Amino acid sequence: MPGIDLSMNLPPQPADADLDGRLARALAEVRAESGLAPYLTYQQPGGTGAERKAAAEWLGGMVADLAGGLTADRLILAPGTQPALFALLLAHAAPGDAILTEKLTYPGFKAAAAALGVALIGVEMDGEGMIPGALDRAARGGTAKIVYLTPTMQNPTTATMSADRRKRIAAVVRKRGLVLIEDDPYTFLAPGLPPISSFVPERSYFAASLSKAIAPGLRTSIVVAPDAAAAARCAALLRAVVQMSSPLMAAIATQWMRDGTAADLIKATRKETAARQTLARDALQGQDAIAHPAGLHVWLGLPNRWPAPRFVAHLGGRGLAVVTADAFATDAAPPNAIRLALGAARNQAQLARALAILAEALGEGATGDVIV
């Protein structure tokens, strides 16, 4: 049996979304407007003025609570949130500093911090993500100046902060004089909640990648900075990291924002994602599985008889790859859990096969020691 890899947290490619056709049409439209060759030159890091204006209008429409103060000069287009996070660390942290994060956090942020010699301090979480009182206590000593978090369908625990929780986190950010990096690629899948940044815009960066709701290959993230000067600094540091977005990809993303395709594709992702979550819920009944009905992934606690490394090796022997909690851990005691990236399956049939392998394995006991 060919392997099934549910380790990368991708959005599904819905069969009826016509991604191929839409890409071809976007290219034709960009070409009709200006020709394609101009997109082979260097461009301003952070996006052209027209792209930033289109992104500000589009993001303001998608995330209503941002709309008020969202001017084009406050935002940049980055080739993904990942290099933007690196640029923000360059802007606000130095080797030896510490940053506050959720106790389990996005591995790409761990990697960026490690590369810069910046330590992470994991803050306690509950079913809504980071706990404001725990953030307050952790920030009290003044060692850490930055808090990084993912408020919606948290990666990996799927926790989503209520509006009240967001307000309370913002109050701690302000009280302790922290810089907030709010990473919210899932906002487009579960809209309606105000960003934490909207309560404390003067101290916040809000990064809204299109990778999780449309496609990671677009390499497009919209990053909102506290003000125009901070956005310019972020763009300059982005140049140091990655020069600029691939101009053609930025042009396609902008075209899709302008002509409604981005919103259509997000709708298609939501529909396919909901169907996949239903499959997972049915297959994992009775298990310690946590998921958001609109989320791309499931967080699955394992029974004691299945230590995560052994369980993952067992699944690997059956052709299924998933990720264990240690990838996300900020300390040496990760929970006994795995993340299932439902969007990574090629289609629902493949996902159903993967879930059947998983359910069967959960029903079995761990047998003996693995000798390696």
Q: Is 82 in the site for ligand PLP (CB under 6 A)?
A: yes
Here the tokens at position 121 are 């301090």
Question: In the complex with ligand PLP, which residue's Cβ is closer, 225 or 362?
Answer: 225
What is the three-class DSSP state of 241? helix
CB of 241 to ligand PLP, least distance (A): 12
Q: What is the largest CA-CA distance in the chain?
A: 65
Looking at the Cβ atoms of 9 and 277, the one nearer to ligand PLP is 9
Near ligand PLP by CB under 6 A: residue from 7, 45, 60, 81 = 81
Give the ranges where the chain is alpha helix by DSSP (H).
19-34, 49-62, 81-92, 107-115, 132-140, 163-175, 228-242, 247-259, 261-283, 308-317, 348-363
Taking CB atoms, the residue at the shortest distance from ligand PLP is 80
Query: Looking at 160, 209, 245, 324, which residue binds ligand PLP (CB under 6 A)?
Result: 209
Residue 141 CB, shortest distance to ligand PLP, in Å, is 27
Interface region with ligand PLP, contact rule CB under 6 A, candidates 171-179, 208-216, 234-242, 349-357 = 208-216
Does the protein bind ligand PLP through residue 206 (CB under 6 A)? no
From the list 339, 79, 108, the residue with the least C-alpha distance to 210 is 79
Contact status, residue 130 vs residue 139, Cβ threshold 8 Å: no
# residues near ligand PLP by CB under 6 A: 14
In the chain, the amino acid numbered 225 is A
Task: Pick one of 4, 6, 7, 9: the residue that binds ligand PLP (CB under 6 A).
Answer: 9
Q: Which of 101, 158, 187, 211 binds ligand PLP (CB under 6 A)?
A: 211
Collapse the DSSP code of 294 into the 3-class scheme (helix H, G, I; strand E, B; otherwise coil) and give the result.
Answer: coil
CB atoms within 10 A of CB 364: 11
- Computed on alpha carbons and rounded to an integer, the radius of gyration of the chain in Å comes to 21
Round to whole Å and give the CA distance between 320 and 49.
Answer: 45
CB of 81 to ligand PLP, least distance (A): 4
Out of 69, 108, 194, 301, the only residue in the binding site for ligand PLP (CB under 6 A) is 108
Residues that bind ligand PLP (CB under 6 A): 9, 80-82, 106, 108, 150, 155, 183, 185, 209, 211, 216, 221
